[in-house]
Structure 1
Amino acid sequence: MNAEAPDASVETPADPGRIVLLTASHRVAPGLLSWPAWQTLHAADRVLCADPDQPQLPYLREAGVHVEHATPSADELVADCAGGRTVVVLTGGEGNAPLTDGLARLGGSGRTRMPDLELLPGSYDLPGARLLDLVQVMDRIRRSCPWTSQKTHRGLAKYAIEEAYELVEAIEDGDRTELREELGDVLLQVVFHARIAEEDPEEPFAIDDVAGGLVEKLIHRHPHVFGDETAETPEDVHAHWLRTKAIEKQRTSVTEGVPLGQPGLALAAKLASRVRTAELDVPLPTGDSIGYDLLALAVAAEANGTDPEAALRAAARAYRDAILAVEGA
């Protein structure tokens, strides 16, 4: 039995086409798009962009991609794709919420045959990309905020100490949410001071100089990672660090570089560590005050591998808990 011929009077639905939302991160240099993005751009029937200042546009024109400045509605975009056409909409990394919301409403209505919808990232943020946002935000705040614009290094110094203590507390509490927040607050101090430093009339520097100096230091002090030396144990690494640091600093005393403004127990332990590392025989000073007794305890703790400042803080926290228990009884 012969198969029936198809009814010519029945129309085959037209191909609804394809909409490609092409995103590109503003944190990546313009023009550095992925290969799938370039392929899609060259093959598209239309490429649309609502922002005439989109940083990708000069590079697309140079590559022979014609981009139209247009802001179509969801209905207009769907209609433009009819017949199997591909329309690319170029957006920033944040996307185009009004357009995607409109397309979602159309698709959800069930009354419109929707084209295929594809989200194509043209470039991806690298790890650390949000640091660029932080620098930009800090720059704007410094220029526009009445409080921030007047701050100096000296005026901010106390905040750096406060934030460092709050970070230590978050670490000791084991609170991951607080830890992340306090790390951000410490980072703010770094970025804030670096932004202020840009304005110094005699010796300006910027956050890139700070980061660049740190990178060089880390590479230089890790020759077992970036060079030809070897280190099998943490003790080997520590020895490398001390050796390279001594060459860099060319200090005439082991006390150089020890901040005297740090807490007393920490200061005593740091001095003791320097003396022990340098293998110096320095008798402890004696006196009648409790300070000398605390000094001896701090030196003994450091020699045994205990951080006296952290140990006393832990004991003080236990004392705080005991106080709260009595108050709550």
Structure 2
Amino acid sequence: MSLSKTRTLLDLMVRLRDPESGCPWDIQQDFHSLMPYTLEEAYEVIDAIERNDFQDLRGELGDLLLQVVFHARIAEERGLFDFEQVAAGIAEKLINRHPHVFATASYSSDAQRQQAWDDAKAVERQQKKVSDSPESVLAGVASSLPALVQCEKIQNRAASHGFDWPEIEPVFDKVREELAEVHEAWQSQDQAHIEEEIGDLFLVVVNLARHLQVNPEMALRAATQKFTRRFNYIETQVAAAGRSLRDCQLAELDNLWNEAKRVQNRKREES
């Protein structure tokens, strides 16, 4: 974006927020009221990427940028910071985290480069501290993140400090152990205990995903989308027969599910 376009966008937000002549809705917003919109726009960016709709992606990135400008304007009005400081801050961060590009550092492997990245982030967190007390290596992971994302980030932090299985087989063993504990909890009919064990199972499955170099959030999104496509196929077939889902036996629906798998797998192979 050229400087003139950036300035135009910032000036538009100033106008929208003007107490005398601005938009009543925009004037009423604050950091907290914008939170759901900011989150929604971030997910719509992801959705456009997943659909390979790059025309839509351009628009969604603009919508997400608007959220950044909106928050920065509110901060400027309160004397906290402005958009220029936001941009300067991320520019400085990029330079500090890439000494192999902007300075003379050299890394012999991706693991070494990742460790240097983690170390740089740790230094940044230390510089932001307001207390002299030791900071947990898990500090700074946002509690508002989706649970799977938060879990993965926390586990990555712990792993970077040596708290991790060095091999993958024990992780598979742990998954089986946790699944057995869920079954035991279910037999006890103690709902609180069941919930706790389900949580433990999720946590160790995220750990397994890490060891298999799979992003658990994206894997679950893809699995949910696949489920949706197959279920939609079932709905279409049932409706074509003049029936409703509730009219069908589970065995019929299960057969249609398997048919959906075959059809969609064949389409994927042909594409």
Query: Normalising by the residue count of structure 2, what TM-score does the alignment of the two structures yield?
Result: 0.68
Partner of 2:61: 183
Find out whether 1:268 has 2:143 as its counterpart.
Answer: no
Following superposition of structure 1 onto structure 2, how do residues 208-223 of structure 1 map, counting pairs within 5 Å?
208-223=84-99
Q: Radius of gyration: which is bigger?
A: 1
Partner of 2:72: 194
Find out whether 1:207 has 2:87 as its counterpart.
Answer: no
Distance 1:131 1:320 in 2: 40
- Unaligned ranges ≥5, structure 2: 127-133, 166-170, 186-193, 238-271
Find out whether 1:230 has 2:106 as its counterpart.
Answer: yes
Deviation of the 1:149 alpha carbon: 1.0
Ranked by relative contact order (alpha carbons within 8 Å, sequence separation 6 or more), the top structure is: 1
Contact 2:76 2:82 survives alignment (8 Å): yes
Deviation of the 1:240 alpha carbon: 2.4
Counterpart AA for 2:56? E
Following superposition of structure 1 onto structure 2, how do residues 4-83 of structure 1 map, counting pairs within 5 Å?
none
Deviation of the 1:231 alpha carbon: 3.6
Q: Which moved more, 1:290-299 or 1:313-322?
A: 290-299
Partner of 1:278: 161
Following superposition of structure 1 onto structure 2, how do residues 250-329 of structure 1 map, counting pairs within 5 Å?
250=126, 252-280=135-163, 288=185, 289=194, 290-329=198-237
- Unaligned ranges ≥5, structure 1: 1-125
Percent same amino acid among aligned pairs? 39
Distance 2:70 2:110 in 1: 34
Higher share in helix: 2
Contact 2:31 2:71 survives alignment (8 Å): yes
Deviation of the 1:127 alpha carbon: 4.2
- Report the secondary structure of 2:24's partner residue: coil
Counterpart among 31, 37, 43 of residue 165 in structure 1: 43
Deviation of the 1:153 alpha carbon: 0.5
**Alpha-carbon distance change, 273 to 192 in structure 1, aligned in 2, over 3 angstroms:** same
Counterpart among 107, 110, 117 of residue 241 in structure 1: 117
